Amino acid sequence: MAETTTGNGLPKGFRSAEQGWPELHRIPHPPHRLPLLGDILGASRRTPLQDSLRYARELGPIFRRRAFNREFVFVWGAGLAADMADESRFAKHVGLGIANLRPVVGDGLFTAYNHEPNWQLAHDVLAPGFSREAMAGYHPMMLAVADRLMDHWDRELAAGRTVDVPGDMTKLTLETIARTGFGHDFGSFERARPHPFVSAMVGTLTYAQRLNTVPWPFLLRRAARGNQADIAYLNRTVDELVRARTAGGRGDGDLLDRMLETAHPQTGERLCAQNVRRQVITFLVAGHETTSGALSFALHYLSRHPQVAARARAEVDDVWGATAVPGYDQVARLRYVRRILDESLRLWPTAPAFAREAREETVLGGAHPMRRGAWALVLTAMLHRDPAVWGADAERFDPDRFDPKAVRTRPPHTFKPFGTGARACIGRQFALHEATLVLGLLLRRYDFRSDLAYRLRVTERLTLMPEGLRLRLERRATPAPVASGPSPAVEDAPSELRCPVHRAAD
């Protein structure tokens, strides 16, 4: 803890909004603010994001909230969010929620401060791990994990049971990143209880989340001891995995091989052992819950929109035909399935906000002066519902919003589920390939029947997830074989020549 906290329990360098925004009084806040306590009336510790969406609707494109000794500025209007995407004036801010993870993953890719040398080193060493070539290598492993999910769902179906969508999607995505990243198998589908590594990981995330909302961390003294034990367990397990890899020679070209073997192309530098450990934990954490939530929301919407599901299924049948095992290139050709994912991530971006800070003194949107280092949270979940961009029916699920023509008519920086700029998600292509593949496989094999009494409730951990979502499945007949020529070139596959992370307009 010492690395990141100050005497008042806030992360070192934490700047409350009054320190960074000289004209903060011009930014609205919720009514009924209480002295010392702030805007806590009517706010829930369990749903801070959904509370922020409510305030956003009441208060407009920029607003602030105060909880005890911390004040935060939120930005969601499309114009202001686009301004914050300007990399020459703004950069990632390692905000409270992320800084609380530093005791676990330190200067790992997700939590590194912009100035820390290990960020650039790890980014350059690991970015090729997300190139088209690398992704094609992960594809058979993703298929193998999806098979385990479908075996499990077939058994549930045969037993007349409904399936636990978020639970099973989390098992799937965890096994996928563990297998493709580190050649590891947690046996999630075969276990009655989560693997202890998974429990420790969830424990550290929950603790970090609680730190966000308690005014004084000493209130969590007992939980802090449990957290230390969880961190120690995570470290020991990863160290063991790395030892086994180095003792047994190479894996099959996975991320861990890259971390251990690749030298920086210009400097020849390598990641040190401590940083490798931090990256392994980072990828296991960052690489599964977000994708699992995206798949879960998509399945919810598919079960509620039978015409959308029918159109997606027709596309899968058409593109894949009777191919037992879809090839890598056949996944990106599922363009309508991909639009369903985009539309689900629009309404529920599973990482629902990201923080940006001013590199120098600047004026946000020509109206709000900011000192150097001042920061705000870009509320993606609300940016994606801005009626000025998405229309009066912004709350309606409609995958055709991602039809290429519709996309071209929208201003840039209005769809940001993967963040922005140099620190945008390195796993974007990985997540989209995995999720499109899995949705294609599930659409082809099952019809989804939702419980009509179910009302979407969203749980907030570090990420968003539909709570208590269960679906009843029906097995579909396998489609008749269709003649299929070689797959046409995939327009949106990342080029090996470009950094797979830094793509035009993100």
Beginning with the edge strand found earlier in the chain, give each strand of the sheet holding 470-475 in spatial order: 163-164, 470-475, 446-450
Under the criterion CB under 6 A, does residue 38 sit at the interface with ligand HEM?
Answer: no
Nearest-approach distance from CB 91 to ligand HEM, in angstroms: 10
Segment near ligand HEM (CB under 6 A), from 22-30, 317-325, 344-352, 439-447? Answer: 344-352
Which CB atom, from 4 or from 30, has the smaller least distance to ligand HEM? 4
Pairing state between β 446-450 and 62-67: unpaired
Segment near ligand HEM (CB under 6 A), from 36-44, 230-238, 256-264, 427-435? Answer: 427-435
Q: What is the DSSP string of 339-398?
A: HHHHHHHHHS-SS--EEEEESSSEEETTTEEE-TT-EEEE-HHHHTT-HHHH-TTTTS--
Q: Which two tokens stand for residue 460?
A: 């907030």
Q: Which two tokens stand for residue 418?
A: 């993967």
354 labelled catalytic: no
Under the criterion CB under 6 A, does residue 75 sit at the interface with ligand HEM?
Answer: no
Under the criterion CB under 6 A, does residue 354 sit at the interface with ligand HEM?
Answer: yes
* Phi, psi (deg, nearest 5) at residue 391: 90, 170
Nearest-approach distance from CB 431 to ligand HEM, in angstroms: 4
Q: Cα(377)–Cα(78) distance, rounded to whole angstroms?
A: 13
Q: Cα(160)–Cα(472) distance, rounded to whole angstroms?
A: 9
Under the criterion CB under 6 A, does residue 440 sit at the interface with ligand HEM?
Answer: no
Options 182, 186, 375, 430; binder of ligand HEM; rule CB under 6 A: 430
* Amino acid in the structure at residue 210: R
Nearest-approach distance from CB 155 to ligand HEM, in angstroms: 27
Of 197, 354, 397, 418, catalytic: 418
Options 103, 417, 440, 466; binder of ligand HEM; rule CB under 6 A: 417
Q: If you ran DSSP here, which 8-state letter would residue 217 be given? A: G
Of 176, 180, 290, 350, catalytic: 290
Contact track, ligand HEM, 278-307, x by CB under 6 A: ----xx--xx--xx--x-------------
Which residue of this chain has its Cβ atom nearest to ligand HEM in the complex? 427
Using an 8 Å Cβ cutoff, are 166 and 292 in contact? yes
* The residue to which tokens 């969010």 are assigned: 81
Query: Terminal CA-to-CA distance of the chain, rounded, Å?
Result: 34
Q: Which of residues 169-208 bind ligand HEM (CB under 6 A)?
A: 177
**Residues in contact with ligand HEM, total (CB under 6 A)?**
27
3-state secondary structure of 261: helix
Nearest-approach distance from CB 120 to ligand HEM, in angstroms: 9
Options 110, 182, 186, 448; binder of ligand HEM; rule CB under 6 A: 110
Q: Across-strand partners of 356?
A: 92, 376
* Amino acid in the structure at residue 348: W
- Beta-carbon contacts of 352 under 8 Å, excluding residues fewer than 6 positions away, are 49, 379, 380, 381, 460, 463, 464
Cα angle at 65 between 59 and 68, to 5 degrees? 155
Nearest-approach distance from CB 146 to ligand HEM, in angstroms: 15
Which CB atom, from 100 or from 290, has the smaller least distance to ligand HEM? 290
Options 30, 427, 494, 500; binder of ligand HEM; rule CB under 6 A: 427
- Beta-carbon contacts of 7 under 8 Å, excluding residues fewer than 6 positions away, are none
Under the criterion CB under 6 A, does residue 426 sit at the interface with ligand HEM?
Answer: yes
Dihedral angle over CA of 365, 368, 370, 374, nearest 10 = -80
Q: Cα(142)–Cα(145) distance, rounded to whole angstroms?
A: 5
Of 110, 425, 436, 448, catalytic: 425
Segment near ligand HEM (CB under 6 A), from 131-139, 237-245, 393-401, 418-426? Answer: 418-426
Which CB atom, from 33 or from 335, has the smaller least distance to ligand HEM? 335
Options 29, 64, 65, 92; binder of ligand HEM; rule CB under 6 A: 92
290 labelled catalytic: yes
3-state secondary structure of 160: coil
425 is in an annotated binding site: yes
Q: What is the DSSP string of 269-280?
A: ----HHHHHHHH
Segment near ligand HEM (CB under 6 A), from 221-229, 231-239, 415-423, 475-483? Answer: 415-423
* Catalytic residue list: 290, 418, 425
Which residues are part of a known binding site for heme? 425
- List contacts with ligand HEM (CB under 6 A): 92, 98, 109-110, 123, 177, 282-283, 286-287, 290-291, 294, 349-351, 354, 417-419, 423-427, 430-431
Which residues are part of a known binding site? 425
